[in-house]
Amino acid sequence: MPLGPFTKQEHLEIATLGLQLAVSQTLGVLAGWWLDRHFNSLPWFTLLGAAAGFAAGMYMVVTGARKAQAAAAENLNNKKADK
Amino acid sequence: MDVAEILSHHILDHHWGYSLGGVELPITTHTVTLLSVSVIMLIGLYWISKGGASTLKRLLTAGAEEYVTFIRDGMVLPNMGTEGKSFLPYFCTLFLFILLTNLAGLIPNMKTATSNISVNAALALCSGGLIVYCGLKFHGIIGFLKGFIPSGTPGWLVPLIFPLEVISLIIKVCVLALRLFANMLAGHMVLISLLLMIFIIGQLSAVAGVGAAIPAMGLEIFMTCLELLVAFLQAYVFTLLTAIFAGSVIHTH
């Protein structure tokens, strides 16, 4: 059942984007913090991890949004064609 | 009353302390729940698959067929296409296993094993393995790796985009585990916190405690119903997202 311009699957993927941003940043910081503890270099790897996590998260949000936008346009075109 | 201790006792896993020849056996409340669910699934599904003439058997067989059709037509085929048919048993098992484990937590004296991040991490690893296997099976190693680079990416951007895409896949799998963990843990924390509210207010005054029991129990019943919905919803979301991610690896653009 289509909900607005999106299908159920697309809604679910869009709803996941926020969590993906949060998790990627958290994992980046944790990985950096672990490396810092290992190499005794606090805070450099933590900062690098935070930046890398943020970059990865933003990349996922932007690509996810672009994919959703394309899917919405395709769904609307299909609707028009059906009419 | 130590609220933190009661909360942690309700939510965390407990080692039963059995050992065999000095070796600690990994028997905990969560492993017992997981094993119970597995045994019930194995015996129950085997019993249903044997078929029979009784009304109950026919009803259960029809229910099982409906369930498999729901997973196939609602999740696997729309997202993975006909290529996903061979993975249908995995999705059927995954949904039922998560659902029964979630529901087991609502039975008194049983624990929600899915509120343990290790259990969810294992489930997510299985799903991650399936996603990678799908990519390798349908595209080969080179094709699978090429699939990480979106079409139209300029050559100089590839060294940057490729690791980002690989990290994206890893994070997607991590998010699968975390979502289930957070939802199940939070639900059970709310359930016990509502019950504890009665005793916390009761410590101030016994009459206030009795007065608080009525709204608290009402909310408790509401939350239990919500937990029932969440149990189904989270099993559905986990299975559907696995199918979506596997489908996106199979049908790369």
Q: What is the pLDDT of residues B18-74, one digit of tens each?
A: 888 878 888 889 999 999 999 999 999 999 988 788 899 999 999 999 999 999 999
Minimum Cα–Cα distance from B178: chain A residue? A23
Domain boundaries, chain A: 19-74
Minimum Cα–Cα distance from B236: chain A residue? A12
The greatest distance separating any two alpha carbons of chain B, rounded to the nearest whole angstrom, comes to 74
Q: What is the pLDDT of residues B161-208, one digit of tens each?
A: 999 999 999 999 999 999 999 999 999 999 999 999 999 999 988 999
Phi, psi of B12, deg, nearest 5? -75, 165
Token pair, residue B146, equals: 């090429």
What distance in Å separates the CA atoms of residue B242 and residue A5, rounded to the nearest whole number?
23
pLDDT over 80 (residue B1): no
What distance in Å separates the CA atoms of residue B50 and residue B196, rounded to the nearest whole number?
47
pLDDT over 80 (residue A30): yes
Q: Do B244 and A24 touch (CB under 8 A)?
A: no
Question: Token pair 């991890």 is at which residue?
Answer: A49
What distance in Å separates the CA atoms of residue B213 and residue B201, rounded to the nearest whole number?
9
SS3 state at B28: strand
- State the smallest CA–CA distance between residue A56 and chain B in angstroms: 6
Token pair, residue B62, equals: 């029809």
Q: Does B174 touch chain A (CB under 8 A)?
A: yes
From chain A, the residues in CB contact with B150 under 8 A are 63
Q: Bridge-partner residues for B19, per DSSP? A: B24
Q: Do B178 and A19 touch (CB under 8 A)?
A: yes
The predicted structure's pLDDT at residue A2: 54
The predicted structure's pLDDT at residue A5: 83
Question: Token pair 């009761």 is at which residue?
Answer: B202
Q: Return the minimum-mean-pLDDT range out of A7-11, A46-50, B75-79, B187-191.
A: A7-11
* Prediction ipTM score: 0.83
Phi, psi of B19, deg, nearest 5? -135, 155
Q: What is the pLDDT of residues B77-129, one digit of tens each?
A: 999 999 999 999 999 999 999 999 999 999 988 889 999 999 999 999 999 99
Residue whose C-alpha is closest to residue B181's, from A23, A11, A31: A23
Phi, psi of B28, deg, nearest 5? -130, 170
From chain A, the residues in CB contact with B167 under 8 A are 24, 56
